[in-house]
Amino acid sequence: MSFTKPTLRLTAAQFRRVVAHCYDGLPDEACGLLAGPVDHEGEPTGVVNDVYPCANADASAVTFTVDSRDLIAAMRDAESRGLELIGVWHSHTHTDASPSATDVRQAPDPKWIYLLVSLRDGAPVMRCFRIRDGQIAENPIELDR
């Protein structure tokens, strides 16, 4: 599967849950995990079956680390349902929805999808990326109703 694939497919309810968790995290960055199916190469198909709001262990407005207990709980839940963790999301409280140098440096898995939500302006802005070997590619997002 191409580095720039797949299209991320969220339901409207998942979109609202992610954005609400980002607002709930203010003034700090909020974060969470995405679960869904993977193809025969272990690449995400783009379908999101579940979103897992997590605590930001950094408790910071400029960095995030998914709380290890939340990570383990999400992994166990996803695996019990035949799914994989396919990505992570976090908010940018004062900047746009683009990966920062820190985001690129700390990207934990080259197969993962990185969902960013900017809360800088009046309305939240959500964008999706893949990060591999320091390279960034944007992926489209489709909301399923």
pTM for this entry = 0.92
pLDDT band at 18 (very low <50, low <70, confident <90, very high): very high
Amino acid at 8: L
Measured CA angle at 42 (ends 44, 49), to 5 deg: 35
First to last CA, the chain: 26
Superfamily of domain 8-144: Cytidine Deaminase, domain 2 (3.40.140.10)
What is the pLDDT at residue 72? 97
Say whether pLDDT at 3 is over 70: no
Instruction: Please state the domain extents for the chain.
Output: 8-144
Please compute the mean of the pLDDT values over residues 23-50 and round it to a whole number. Answer: 95
Q: Kindly list the distances between the CA atom of residue 137 and the CA atoms of 54, 57, 143, in Å, as whole numbers in the listed order.
A: 25, 27, 20
What is the pLDDT at residue 31? 97
What is the pLDDT at residue 4? 67
pLDDT tens digits for 53-99? Answer: 999 999 999 999 999 999 999 999 999 999 999 999 999 999 999 99
What is the pLDDT at residue 101? 87
Amino acid at 73: A
**Smallest Cα–Cα separation from 119: which of 28, 53, 42?**
28
pLDDT band at 123 (very low <50, low <70, confident <90, very high): very high
